[in-house]
Amino acid sequence: MSVSGPHPLDSFFNPSSIAIIGASRDGTKIPGLLLAFLRKNQFSGAIYPVNPNYPDIDGLKCYPSLDAIGQSIDLAIVIIPARVVLGALDDCARLGVKHAIIISSGFAEEGGDSIAMQDAIALLAKRTGMRISGPNAEGYYNQIAGIAATFSPTVDAKPDQPRFVATRKRIGIVAQSGGIGFAIYNRAKALGIALSTVISTGNESDLGAGEFFDYLAQDPVTDVILLFIEAIRDVDQFLAAAKKAAETGKPVIVTKVGRSGAGERAAASHTASMAGWTAAYDAVFARYGFIVSNDLDEAVSIAAVLTTSPLPKGERVAVVTVSGGAGIWGADAVSAQGLQVPELSDGVQATIRGLIPSYGSPRNPVDITAQAVHSGGLQKTIELLDRSDEVDAILVVISLSSETRMPFKTAELKPVIAAQNKPIVFWSYTLPSNFARNGLAESGVVVLSGLTHVSVALRRLVDHARFKPMEAVAEAAQAPIDLATHLTAPTLSEHDSKTLLQVAGVTLPNELLVARKSELDAAIAKVGFPLVMKIQSRDIPHKSEVGGVKLNIGTKGEAAASYDALIVSAQTQRPQAALQGVLVSPMARKGVEIIVGTLLDKTFGPMVMVGLGGVTAELFKDVVYRPAPVSVQEAGEMLNALKGASLLNGFRGAAQADVSAASRLIAQVSQLAEQLKGEVAEIELNPVCVHPAGEGVTIVDALVVRR
């Protein structure tokens, strides 16, 4: 991977000198642990404890102040009471310290006056150029360089307990919760997954999750990134990092917490009411191919498979087992994830028969039996299937509870794993012993013990292999049309909304607004029968609630009666409403109904949504969101991602729908949402009838909602 020049955070994660402001001799408290862990992990640079109360700490000279050090400092770790932190940071900036981590808490997380103290830290960072992590941070651990700039007990080095490492590839972790970031590392370490760096971002007064993500996205020693997200503050950096990771094919596993409906929107349109609290986050994750996981062990299992396996070329899995029952269970689990467990060809079965006892089964699951473990049949079967083009991944189902016996010879297994052509994933249905974990780690194998996590990991690997970054939206050839004159009213009726859309270049049916009954005949002559008539008022957002819609009108007499009925009904039920008149439209031809909408997310800005079913979209919640704008290609992918996509693709002999016309409309509306994001909160076209291929789409109803 090409890396363009040094990253601004290189010296943050690889400092040659560290000052600990507030260092302590008490090894049971955070200030003492920071110093102890730095030394236990054999930090090779200079360490300067700063505390006027001690002349020395654990054989290191302790300085009364930063000024007394008299040397350049790359990183200051600050662990002193909140009220004196700003003064210490001023000293750091004055002396040219490049970076600081504030471990101290008592800032924005406490509210009140403490928010102002955190704001002052952010201003200091902007003013001086010193980059600051925290406050309320847990620091970081750079495993390769042995820099433990944290008090997390997960980095406590114990020389009597040698660390086993199974993977050549490394994970990097960015977490907006210190406890969780180091918990991910703790569980990954227990499986033998190598780490590049884990960072806890704290309150993000200056450095945010996006900037740390950007560092890992370009970091040549980080192969897989795990993110634990509460809310993104540095959105632009986050999106730039996501794009970088997608373009270079670096997998990103993300967990987003705060999904439990804690911020439902009251909204004028269905588009917004269908958006869950995290719809925008999920849309961003989908655009950049993130692997979403909402479970800690599952996320680590996915990371284990990604750091030990090439990507699969398809979704066919061979299950190789030493226990018939466990093998069937493994086959069921991967099948439940939509993966295939195909029966092997006669030729492959015949070869396997020669490697296993007569009471085994070569079909798939391949039951080699416990006996074939001792004769080498297990390893030979794995090698055979790794070379075979009949399967894309291998799940090895095995018992690894023994503290004395290994089913593989390391010297024989190691070259197989090193040269593997496809994922070879090991699931132990007994709890694996440390002896087995260590033995297999020498061959580059991570042993997993949760079957659901294993099968989900294989599914995610298949999905990740299929992900292709989307083409960017082409820049508009002409300047955007000035739509300001159509956005003067605080609320827009259907007619206002459609006029705006039409001026913006969206194709709409041939409709006329009839303000006086005397204009009705001329409108009918232009529109033709059968037609629809709808009351128009900026004060009546939901026309059907006031009996404001008349369908399938076939004669002039019906049209005249409908006009009178619509006006009377609106005046009776909404006497205060200012009426614009009646919209006369042709009856829409039949088609597959969809809803196309946009909304503004407070984090990521405009989002575009497509759902199946028009008016029933809200009932079935079959909707897909993406950040706006989208290209025509990405709009097509959105339609394809709907659960009911087959309804657009000729379901049960129906005509293939005009998906390309629908895709163009979605892209067009998404670009309009981006252009008008300062003025417009929501756009909704509902329903849109998608006609058979080549016949286009019809926008039946439309609503534009001002900010």
Q: Is the torsion defined by CA of 377, 382, 388, 390 positive or negative?
A: positive
- Better pLDDT: 38 or 654: 38
Q: Are residues 162 and 189 in contact, defined by beta-carbon separation less than 8 angstroms? A: no
* 134 and 236 housed in the same domain: yes
* 572 and 673 housed in the same domain: no
Cα–Cα nearest to 136, from 112, 159, 110: 110
Mean pLDDT, rounded, for 644-661: 91
Is the pLDDT assigned to residue 265 strictly greater than 50?
Answer: no
| pLDDT class of 351 with cuts at 50, 70, 90 | very high
Is 401 part of a structural domain of the chain? yes
Mean pLDDT, rounded, for 399-415: 92
Q: Which pLDDT score is estimated for 652?
A: 84
Mean pLDDT, rounded, for 275-299: 90
Q: Which pLDDT score is estimated for 268?
A: 43
**CA angle at residue 183 from 182 to 184, to 5 degrees?**
90
CA distance 132 to 76: 9
Residues contacting residue 366 through CB under 8 Å, at least 6 positions apart: 318, 319, 320, 321, 327, 344, 352, 356, 360, 381, 385
| pLDDT class of 618 with cuts at 50, 70, 90 | confident
* 153 and 294 housed in the same domain: yes
Distances (CA, A) of 157 to 143, 145, 455: 11, 14, 33
Query: What CATH number is associated with residue 692?
Result: 3.30.470.20
Torsion, CA 635, CA 471, CA 284, CA 309, rounded to 10: 120
Residues contacting residue 21 through CB under 8 Å, at least 6 positions apart: 50, 66, 76, 77, 78, 79, 80, 88
**Of 104-108, 203-207, 389-393, minimum mean pLDDT range:** 104-108
| Domain total of the chain | 4
Q: Are residues 453 and 463 in contact, defined by beta-carbon separation less than 8 angstroms? A: no
Write down which residue in 466, 489, 522 finishes a domain: 466
Is 646 part of a structural domain of the chain? yes
* 188 and 59 housed in the same domain: yes
> Structural domain of residue 439, as residue ranges?
310-466
| pLDDT class of 4 with cuts at 50, 70, 90 | low
Residue 14 DSSP label: S
**Of 42-56, 381-395, 578-592, 604-618, minimum mean pLDDT range:** 604-618
**Of 244-248, 486-490, 521-525, 631-635, minimum mean pLDDT range:** 486-490
* 114 and 218 housed in the same domain: yes
pLDDT (tens digit per residue) in 227-250: 999 999 999 999 999 999 999 999
Is 351 part of a structural domain of the chain? yes
Query: What CATH number is associated with residue 539?
Result: 3.30.1490.20
pLDDT (tens digit per residue) in 106-146: 998 888 888 999 999 999 999 999 999 999 999 999 999 99
Mean pLDDT, rounded, for 87-92: 97
* 629 and 683 housed in the same domain: yes
Count other C-beta atoms under 10 Å from residue 628's C-beta. 28
CA distance 265 to 169: 42
* 294 and 319 housed in the same domain: no
Is 304 part of a structural domain of the chain? no
Is 390 part of a structural domain of the chain? yes
Is the pLDDT assigned to residue 399 strictly greater than 60?
Answer: yes
**Residue-wise burial string across 474-494, b where 16 or more C-beta atoms lie within 10 A, e elsewhere:** eeeeeeeeebeebbeeebbbb
Is the pLDDT assigned to residue 470 strictly greater than 90?
Answer: no
Q: Which pLDDT score is estimated for 274?
A: 47
Is 549 part of a structural domain of the chain? yes
Continuous segment of H or E residues that includes residue 397: strand 393-398
Mean of all residue pLDDT scores within the chain: 93
Two tokens, residue 73: 């400092």
- Better pLDDT: 258 or 686: 686
Write down which residue in 466, 500, 520 finishes a domain: 466
Q: Which pLDDT score is estimated for 357?
A: 92
Is the pLDDT assigned to residue 633 strictly greater than 70?
Answer: yes
Continuous segment of H or E residues that includes residue 680: strand 680-690
- What does the DSSP assignment read for 73-121? -SEEEE-S-GGGHHHHHHHHHHTT--EEEE----SGGG-THHHHHHHHH
| pLDDT class of 372 with cuts at 50, 70, 90 | confident
**CA-based end-to-end distance of the chain:** 44
Q: Are residues 569 and 593 in contact, defined by beta-carbon separation less than 8 angstroms? A: no
Q: Which pLDDT score is estimated for 261?
A: 57
Q: Which pLDDT score is estimated for 23?
A: 97
Q: Which pLDDT score is estimated for 2?
A: 46
Q: Are residues 203 and 108 in contact, defined by beta-carbon separation less than 8 angstroms? A: yes
Is 494 part of a structural domain of the chain? no
List alpha helices for 106-234, DSSP H: 113-128, 178-191, 209-218
Q: Are residues 702 and 685 in contact, defined by beta-carbon separation less than 8 angstroms? A: yes
* 437 and 561 housed in the same domain: no
Is the pLDDT assigned to residue 376 strictly greater than 90?
Answer: no
Two tokens, residue 544: 């059907």
CA distance 514 to 689: 24
Count other C-beta atoms under 10 Å from residue 338's C-beta. 11
| pLDDT class of 662 with cuts at 50, 70, 90 | very high
Q: Which pLDDT score is estimated for 276?
A: 54
Q: Which pLDDT score is estimated for 478?
A: 58
Is the pLDDT assigned to residue 428 strictly greater than 90?
Answer: yes
* 377 and 457 housed in the same domain: yes
Two tokens, residue 613: 């079913």
pLDDT (tens digit per residue) in 153-186: 999 988 777 778 999 999 999 999 879 999 999 9
Q: Which pLDDT score is estimated for 617?
A: 74
Is the pLDDT assigned to residue 476 strictly greater than 70?
Answer: no
CA distance 322 to 369: 4
Is the pLDDT assigned to residue 616 strictly greater than 80?
Answer: no
* 228 and 131 housed in the same domain: yes
* 673 and 636 housed in the same domain: yes
Which backbone phi and psi does 650 adopt, to 5 degrees?
A: 80, 45
CA distance 118 to 616: 47
Q: Are residues 203 and 107 in contact, defined by beta-carbon separation less than 8 angstroms? A: yes
| pLDDT class of 277 with cuts at 50, 70, 90 | low
Mean pLDDT, rounded, for 496-516: 95
Write down which residue in 466, 486, 520 finishes a domain: 466
CA distance 419 to 423: 11
Q: Are residues 596 and 669 in contact, defined by beta-carbon separation less than 8 angstroms? A: yes
Q: Which pLDDT score is estimated for 207?
A: 98
Mean pLDDT, rounded, for 389-412: 94
Is the pLDDT assigned to residue 620 strictly greater than 90?
Answer: no
* 571 and 598 housed in the same domain: no
Is 478 part of a structural domain of the chain? no
pLDDT (tens digit per residue) in 542-580: 898 999 999 999 999 999 999 999 999 999 999 999 999
Q: Are residues 63 and 91 in contact, defined by beta-carbon separation less than 8 angstroms? A: no
Q: How many CA atoms lie within 13 A of 38 on its CB side?
A: 28
Query: What CATH number is associated with residue 16?
Result: 3.40.50.720
Two tokens, residue 185: 């590392």
Q: Are residues 568 and 498 in contact, defined by beta-carbon separation less than 8 angstroms? A: no
Mean pLDDT, rounded, for 600-610: 94
